[in-house]
């Protein structure tokens, strides 16, 4: 797509979606009301939905899983696991 057409398309997109202006392109009218507004930012602060039970700073011995991953072949008979 030639640069001048890409710039024109981007400018029309911004006019319709961000500036909420109606635009006529090649006889076809694009109404800003037909397009959703962009959501920006958080709808609420993350701390509002913070739940103390989701994150625990204390170690849970039942949840500890031992990971036995060896990549140099020293612990397996067949070599690298």
3-state secondary structure of 14: helix
3-state secondary structure of 56: coil
Task: Give domain status of residue 24, yes or no.
Answer: yes
What confidence tens digit (pLDDT) does each residue in 25-47 have? 999 999 988 888 777 776 777 66
Task: Give domain status of residue 27, yes or no.
Answer: yes
Query: In Å, how far are 9, 62, 70, 76 from 14, measured between CA atoms?
Result: 9, 54, 54, 60
When divided into structural domains, the chain yields a total of 1
Task: Give domain status of residue 55, yes or no.
Answer: no
Task: Give domain status of residue 57, yes or no.
Answer: no
Task: Give domain status of residue 25, yes or no.
Answer: yes
Task: Give domain status of residue 17, yes or no.
Answer: yes
What confidence tens digit (pLDDT) does each residue in 45-69 have? 766 766 666 666 676 666 666 666 6
Task: Give domain status of residue 70, yes or no.
Answer: no
Band (pLDDT 50/70/90 cuts) for residue 7 is very high
Give the domain extent around 22: 3-34
């Amino acid at each position: 797509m030639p640069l001048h057409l890409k710039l024109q398309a981007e400018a029309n997109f911004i006019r319709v979606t961000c500036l909420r202006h109606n635009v006529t392109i090649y006889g076809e009218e694009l109404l800003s009301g037909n397009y959703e507004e962009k959501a920006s930012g958080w709808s609420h602060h993350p701390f509002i939905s913070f739940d103390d039970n989701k994150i625990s700073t204390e170690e849970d011995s039942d949840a500890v899983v031992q990971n036995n991953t060896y990549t140099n072949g020293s612990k397996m008979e067949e070599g690298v696991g």
